A and B are shown apart, each in its own frame.
Chain A
Amino acid sequence: MQVSLDPSNPRPVPADVAPVLHLDGITKTFPGVKALSEVSLSLYPGQVTALVGENGAGKSTIVKTLTGILQPNAGTITLDGQAVVFPTAQHATDAGITAIHQETVLFDELSVAENIFIGHQPRTRFGLIDWAAMRARAREILDRIDADLDPDMPLHELGIASKHLVAIARALSVDARVVIMDEPTAALSHKEIEELYELVERLKSEGRAILFISHKFDEIFRIADRYTVFRDGQHVGEGLIAEIDEGELVRLMVGRSVDQIFPPRDHRVGDEVLAVSGYSHPTEFQDISFTLRKGEILGFYGLVGAGRSEVMQALFGVTKPSGGEIRIDGTAHQVRSPSDAIDAGIVYVPEERGRQGAVIGLPIFQNVTLPSLAQTSRRGFLKLSEEFALTREYTERLDLRAASLDQDVGNLSGGNQQKVVIAKWLATKPRVIILDEPTKGIDIGSKAAVHAFMAELAAQGLAVIMVSSEIPEVLGMSDRVIVMREGLIAAELTGDELTPETLVRHAAGIGA
């Protein structure tokens, strides 16, 4: 199988269908970033086009240009052979283009029905919102996607997966010719993902054109008819899925082949460092007990909402547990706040990097020294030279790419922000480091670097807990895996038990 890297020589398009939507020469720049550079994209009725590319390749940006949220600097959008412009999201909706965006586009204080219809509510003759019609139509759409939700329920009473269903219902509330899905399965459970695939099939059969963005190769190969690849804001290839294989697609995405994703590990582990027993929380989790050894990587797997993050945040003192005990090296520690945890030697690299991890607005060095100020200061007075020295020590170990150490972390790419957060914790010389979804939203290239680094930390004797929802990552990195389901430990797996099948079975509660 051969794929041309020359975009001027695209694969032949099936002769019988003409694209319903065609973008050409789209360029979009942000201050300092050229997010898209003369890219093209075509969508065909009754076909699914997968858009693939590394993080920051510009996938979401093209979705936003296509839906009127961003205005391109140059380029044309052709809909049914007519040139169109979308000054606002409303115009795109009116033209029959609808999207499930990567960000949650929902409103907690509004009801399910309103969330589905906000921006294009059904109206009465007098131009007022017709609530009865809105409820009825919401009901209809929810039924279509098998979502058993009350249209009048306020959104904040729903779980995270149900919210996602509302987002999907919202996209379907417009009778659209073009449906865009930007990483729609990222927050869904196994069952809901299957239902989504069915929905995609149905939309296809109704003749709608679908743009499907995903980082998950299995699903791309399962549902897509065509692919388009972006790399660093440029169009680098497109064609029929039938004519390409996974390795080839990865090579297109990253511009090189990624042969080995997981670093080799020496699985020898040392003495027990951490022992957690009977940790409980009134609503989130119960009776969590496990141990962790020096040099070990302990994986935590579970479906979204299983309560893994909550357990980790409780260990780190962010959330208050209702009972249980933590021992470090055999000594009991009361962890009531993050500073207690840090003192005890437990640190936490959170899942939500921008909100919980990095302090955006502060320079890199101030982020790194934030928990170590006592160490870099004299009697409470700052010593900048020591702060820079400490920062340099750890950021160099992590190979941080930045213009300067007094640059705002907000200007760094996601992977480098993650390095700053990890450097911050290493500077406190922890015993246990918890990484919550450490590669979430990080592209394949940086992922490998994070994995290598995690292996190195373990090799240096740190005890590592890794929370991850990606089965390959869990299997590839962990010495041992704890599977959580609905706030409880469902299983603890080692050695031969570590197969994708056992993980999924325990996580979903399907009898083993």
Chain B
Amino acid sequence: MTAFLKSREAILLGAIAVLLVLIASRFPAFVEPSNLARVFTDTSPLIILALGQTVVILTRCIDLSVAANLALTGMVCAMLNAAMPGVPLAAILLLAVAMGAVMGAINGVMVWKLSIPPIVVTLGTMTIYRGLIFVISDGAWVNAHEMSPAFTGFPRFDILGLPVLAWIAILVTALFFVMIARTPLGRAFYAVGGNPGAAVYTGIDVGRTQFMAFVISGALAGLTGYLWVARYSVAYVDIAGGFELEVVAACVIGGISIAGGAGTILGTLLGALFLGIVKNALPVVNISPFWQMAISGTAIIVAVAFNARSSRSKGRIILKSAEGHA
């Protein structure tokens, strides 16, 4: 317990609490349970994507294509629904997850089999996936009235006071807790990122594990693609543009080390919630939305400086500027 109190997660939790108190002092309604539930729902897509990104970063990779993957999957789902409203929702959900996973697998294969650096691969596929949306849709939007009520209604369907979207985020988080703590694959993510050379000796296939991380990240991006499009009832080329950086930011704020092998699911969850609260609070507390960007930028810098500081004491070599990022 005392170890937890000193952890990054506890400090982040504290920061969130302070943030909420500050907001509540100006606008008490913000902390009403119903509103917090709404903020959570609004943050759900970020949480789902950030969890996927977490396993990718744990294995020393990065996936910049998540937002493009989301948008392409979302567009395909929307176009399918518009063209064939009769296709059952379960099939669409399956399609979304499968399509996302395939796009993730494409990233993963290039990292695994061709050893192309992940940042290059996903920078490339990010523009390709985004461009494909334009190609398949011809740039046209799919609007609310073209979608079936079942399609748009699913993510907002209310169960026990929370919409399905939020329940999915909770479910995914729970699955991640189990996967990370209790499955060999979950532990392999840490091993591969922490010491790839050593992982081979323990029978872990580094490339395959990274591939799996990309597939998971892709599948979740695909799932979120459907949820996003259905929730906002619109699909177009630019949806979630630039969202990949917000996703990475959530992970970094949550204490996931960009060098791989370190970080927790709880951290990512809190990192995403922190960003979500800031984003939702700004319009409410009457700070110009133009401040949002600068605030999240500052949060990222503070978080990474803080994480570096807390792990610094372990290092014995003092010439950190050379050692730190050799």
Hey, which bits of chain A sit against chain B, CB under 8 A? 67-69, 88-93, 101, 103-110, 114, 118-121, 127-129, 131, 156-157, 283-284, 310, 318-320, 355
State the CA gap A310–B316 with chains docked (Å): 9
Determine the residue in chain B with the shortest Cβ distance to A319. Answer: B318
Given contacts A103-B198, A108-B195, A319-B317, 12 further A-B contacts (CB under 8 A): A68-B203, A88-B205, A89-B203, A107-B195, A107-B198, A107-B199, A109-B190, A119-B184, A120-B203, A129-B184, A157-B314, A318-B318
Would B191 and A88 count as touching, CB distance under 8 A?
A: no
Would A109 and B262 count as touching, CB distance under 8 A?
A: yes
B93 at the interface (CB under 8 A from A): no
Would B197 and A103 count as touching, CB distance under 8 A?
A: yes
- For A101, the chain B residues whose CB sits under 8 A away are 201
Given A69-B200, A107-B261, A110-B187: A128 and B205 interface contact (C-beta under 8 Å): no
Would A118 and B187 count as touching, CB distance under 8 A?
A: yes
- For A129, the chain B residues whose CB sits under 8 A away are 181-184, 187
- For B298, the chain A residues whose CB sits under 8 A away are none
B178 at the interface (CB under 8 A from A): yes
State the CA gap A109–B261 with chains docked (Å): 7
Would A89 and B202 count as touching, CB distance under 8 A?
A: yes
Would B187 and A114 count as touching, CB distance under 8 A?
A: yes
How would residues 164 to 192 of chain B score, 1 for a CB under 8 Å from any chain A CB and 0 otherwise? Answer: 00000000000000100111100110110
Given A318-B319, A320-B318: A107 and B201 interface contact (C-beta under 8 Å): no
B194 at the interface (CB under 8 A from A): yes
B204 at the interface (CB under 8 A from A): yes
Determine the residue in chain A with the shortest Cβ distance to B200. Answer: A69
Interface pairs (12), CB distance under 8 Å: A69-B200, A89-B202, A93-B203, A105-B198, A106-B195, A106-B198, A107-B198, A118-B187, A119-B203, A128-B183, A129-B183, A318-B319
Q: In the complex, which of the residues B183, B195, B203 contacts A90, with contact meaning CB atoms closer than 8 Å?
A: B203
Would B194 and A89 count as touching, CB distance under 8 A?
A: no
State the CA gap A3–B261 with chains docked (Å): 51
Given A103-B198, A104-B198, A110-B191: A119 and B204 interface contact (C-beta under 8 Å): yes
- For B262, the chain A residues whose CB sits under 8 A away are 109
Would B203 and A88 count as touching, CB distance under 8 A?
A: yes
- For B194, the chain A residues whose CB sits under 8 A away are 107-110
State the CA gap A355–B323 with chains docked (Å): 10
Q: In the complex, which of the residues B182, B184, B190, B201 contacts A105, with contact meaning CB atoms closer than 8 Å?
A: B201
Would B318 and A105 count as touching, CB distance under 8 A?
A: no
- Cβ of A430 to closest chain B Cβ, rounded Å: 20
State the CA gap A318–B315 with chains docked (Å): 14
- For B202, the chain A residues whose CB sits under 8 A away are 89, 105, 118-119
Determine the residue in chain A with the shortest Cβ distance to B261. Answer: A109
State the CA gap A120–B191 with chains docked (Å): 13
Would B318 and A156 count as touching, CB distance under 8 A?
A: no
- For B201, the chain A residues whose CB sits under 8 A away are 67, 69, 89, 101, 103, 105
How would residues 189 to 228 of chain B score, 1 for a CB under 8 Å from any chain A CB and 0 otherwise? Answer: 0110011011111111100000000000000000000000
State the CA gap A255–B253 with chains docked (Å): 60
- For B318, the chain A residues whose CB sits under 8 A away are 318-320
- For B178, the chain A residues whose CB sits under 8 A away are 128
Determine the residue in chain A with the shortest Cβ distance to B178. Answer: A128
Interface pairs A-B: 6 shortest CB-CB: A89-B203, A90-B203, A119-B202, A128-B182, A105-B201, A105-B198
- For A131, the chain B residues whose CB sits under 8 A away are 181-182
Determine the residue in chain B with the shortest Cβ distance to A310. Answer: B316
Determine the residue in chain B with the shortest Cβ distance to A321. Answer: B318
Given A108-B194, A110-B194: A121 and B187 interface contact (C-beta under 8 Å): yes
- Cβ of B164 to closest chain A Cβ, rounded Å: 27
Determine the residue in chain A with the shortest Cβ distance to B208. Answer: A88
Interface residues on B, range: 20 to 34
- For A93, the chain B residues whose CB sits under 8 A away are 203
Would A284 and B203 count as touching, CB distance under 8 A?
A: no
Would B319 and A319 count as touching, CB distance under 8 A?
A: yes
Determine the residue in chain A with the shortest Cβ distance to B58. Answer: A109
- Cβ of A440 to closest chain B Cβ, rounded Å: 18
- Cβ of B208 to closest chain A Cβ, rounded Å: 10
- Cβ of B276 to closest chain A Cβ, rounded Å: 27
- Cβ of B117 to closest chain A Cβ, rounded Å: 16
Contacting A at CB under 8 A, from B234-262, are 261-262
State the CA gap A320–B200 with chains docked (Å): 36
- For A156, the chain B residues whose CB sits under 8 A away are 314
- For B188, the chain A residues whose CB sits under 8 A away are 118
- For A120, the chain B residues whose CB sits under 8 A away are 203
Would B190 and A107 count as touching, CB distance under 8 A?
A: yes
- Cβ of B98 to closest chain A Cβ, rounded Å: 24
- Counting chain A CB atoms within 10 Å of each CB, the highest count among B190, B197, B200 belongs to B200
Would B314 and A110 count as touching, CB distance under 8 A?
A: no
State the CA gap A353–B314 with chains docked (Å): 23
- For A105, the chain B residues whose CB sits under 8 A away are 195, 198, 201-202
- For A104, the chain B residues whose CB sits under 8 A away are 198
State the CA gap A121–B184 with chains docked (Å): 7
Determine the residue in chain B with the shortest Cβ distance to A281. Answer: B318
- Cβ of B265 to closest chain A Cβ, rounded Å: 14
State the CA gap A413–B202 with chains docked (Å): 27
Would B190 and A110 count as touching, CB distance under 8 A?
A: yes
State the CA gap A323–B19 with chains docked (Å): 44
- Cβ of B4 to closest chain A Cβ, rounded Å: 13
State the CA gap A101–B199 with chains docked (Å): 12
Determine the residue in chain A with the shortest Cβ distance to B182. Answer: A128
State the CA gap A114–B198 with chains docked (Å): 14
- Cβ of A278 to closest chain B Cβ, rounded Å: 19
Determine the residue in chain B with the shortest Cβ distance to A68. Answer: B203
Determine the residue in chain A with the shortest Cβ distance to B263. Answer: A109
State the CA gap A68–B316 with chains docked (Å): 34
State the CA gap A93–B200 with chains docked (Å): 13
- For B191, the chain A residues whose CB sits under 8 A away are 107, 110, 118
State the CA gap A23–B131 with chains docked (Å): 55
- For A68, the chain B residues whose CB sits under 8 A away are 203
- For A310, the chain B residues whose CB sits under 8 A away are 316
- For A320, the chain B residues whose CB sits under 8 A away are 318
- Cβ of A332 to closest chain B Cβ, rounded Å: 22
- Cβ of B267 to closest chain A Cβ, rounded Å: 13
- For B187, the chain A residues whose CB sits under 8 A away are 110, 114, 118, 121, 129
- For B317, the chain A residues whose CB sits under 8 A away are 318-319
Determine the residue in chain B with the shortest Cβ distance to A86. Answer: B203
Determine the residue in chain B with the shortest Cβ distance to A124. Answer: B182
- Counting chain B CB atoms within 10 Å of each CB, the highest count among A88, A109, A114 belongs to A109
State the CA gap A397–B131 with chains docked (Å): 60
- Counting chain B CB atoms within 10 Å of each CB, the highest count among A91, A129, A355 belongs to A129
State the CA gap A121–B203 with chains docked (Å): 12
State the CA gap A93–B318 with chains docked (Å): 39
- Cβ of B311 to closest chain A Cβ, rounded Å: 9
- For A127, the chain B residues whose CB sits under 8 A away are 183
- For B319, the chain A residues whose CB sits under 8 A away are 318-319
- Cβ of A19 to closest chain B Cβ, rounded Å: 25
- Cβ of A238 to closest chain B Cβ, rounded Å: 26
- Cβ of B263 to closest chain A Cβ, rounded Å: 9
Determine the residue in chain B with the shortest Cβ distance to A121. Answer: B184
How would residues 309 to 326 of chain B score, 1 for a CB under 8 Å from any chain A CB and 0 otherwise? Answer: 000001011110000001
